[in-house]
Amino acid sequence: MPRFIARNIVKFVLLLLAVSLVAFTLVSVSPIDPVQANVGQAALVNMSEAKRAQLAEYWGANTPLWERYANWLTAFVQGDLGMSLRYNAPVADVIAARALNSLALMATAWAASGVLGFALGILAGANRGRLVDRIVKGYCFLLASVPTFWLGLVFLVVFSVQLGWFPFGFSVPIGVSAADVTLADALHHLALPALTLSVVGVANIALHTREKTIDVLESDYVRFARARGLSTWGVLRHHGLRNLALPAITLQFASISEIFGGSVLVEQVFSYPGLGQAAVTAGLGGDVALLAGIAVFSAAFVFAGNFIANVLYGVVDPRMRKGAGRA
């Protein structure tokens, strides 16, 4: 066990180093001039030479890449993520404020899609070949082809514009001071983005659970239980759920990367002030420190999900323990 942990810590550190280096290099080789991108074409033309040089200095356009990366890394090790030039605040603060919004969104969608997908998977697996099964399967295959952001737009059109049930974007009501925002307001704004993310996230887990349910129902112990007179639902409740739940939870942890990716798009559609939207703003504005910070944060987030999944594999299936130790 200590070896397993040590190995994963080394892997984690290497991954973060690589991700931060890649993020830094990629943003720095970009031909997009950060000064122009943030000031705007018209203002840039009318600006004095000295002012332009000062701004170039502010955005670090003239410092070589290695020096910038070395500076950033030294500060990072000391717990300082640098300043977000775009938001004019420490990166750690920007990420912390937005991570809370994003995590609320992702956690809701993660849990909802997990429970819904699990239920649909069992329903389809128990009714294999029947109409319910075909509908669930068709729904899952169809969703794999539906772009998340378009689904978000359709939900906006239907639920916000036509029906008026939900607000048109943002995470809090407009024109209300932060102190007056109630939990109900926040939830009301959270509902539609979370619904979009959950609906898309269902497919994977439902198909997986369906396969597992079919396996379980064909096993010898289920045949024996049936012989004792248990109904299909009785079999599933007493013998199926335990065997089905843990693999599903594991899979759900491993799919955190996809939920994060989906949240970037959904946040953009709903103008929801989360990490994804900050990443897009940082990318469009050439905010190196913030973009690198978010890339590292997302990598750590995904790594944590995969790590939990790996550990759970070991718990679920003792045969995997060796494999988890190696991986």
Partner 1 sequence: MRSEREICETCDGGASASVLHAPHAIRIGNRRLTLGVFVAAVAALAAVVAAGIAAGDAATATDFAQKNLAPSLAHPFGTDWMGRDMLLRTLAGLSTSVLVGLLAATASALIALVLGTVAALGGKRADAAVTWLIDLMMGVPHIVLLILISFALGKGFWGVAIGVAVTHWPSLARVVRAEVLQCKEAAFVSVARKLGQGPVRVATRHMLPYVLPQFIVGLILLFPHAILHEAAITFLGFGLPPEQPAIGVILSESMAYLSAGMWWLAVFPGLALVAVVLLFDAAGSNLRKLVDPHSSQD
Q: Which residues sit at the interface with partner 1, rule CB under 8 A?
A: 11, 15, 18-19, 22-23, 25-27, 29-32, 141-142, 144-150, 153-154, 156-157, 160-162, 168, 257-258, 260-261, 264-265, 268-269, 276, 279-280, 283-284, 286, 291, 294-295, 298-299, 302-303, 306
Q: Which is nearer to partner 1, 11 or 237 (CB)?
A: 11
Tokens linked to 112: 């909802």
Give whichever of 125 and 235 is closer to partner 1, judged by the CB atom. Answer: 125
Distance CA(253)–CA(249), nearest Å, equals: 6
Q: Closer CB to partner 1, residue 189 or residue 239?
A: 189
Task: List, in order, residues 6 or more apart from 216 with CB less than 8 Å away.
Answer: 125, 222, 236, 239, 240, 243, 244
- Smallest distance from the beta carbon of 129 to partner 1, in angstroms? 11
Scored b (16 or more CB within 10 A) or e, 265-289 reads bbbbbbebbbbbbbbbbbbebbbbb
Residue position matching structure tokens 């942890």: 253
- Could you tell me the smallest distance in angstroms from the CB atom of residue 45 to partner 1? 20
Closest distance to partner 1 from the beta carbon of 151 (Å) = 8
Q: How far is the CB of 315 from partner 1 (least distance, A)?
A: 22
Nearer Cβ to partner 1 (78/145): 145
Q: How far is the CB of 262 from partner 1 (least distance, A)?
A: 8
Q: Are 100 and 172 in contact (CB under 8 A)?
A: no
137 within 8 A of 169, measured Cβ to Cβ: no
Q: Of the two residues 117 and 276, which places its CB atom closer to partner 1 in the complex?
A: 276
C-alpha span between 312 and 319 (Å, rounded): 12
52, 35 Cβ separation under 8 angstroms: yes
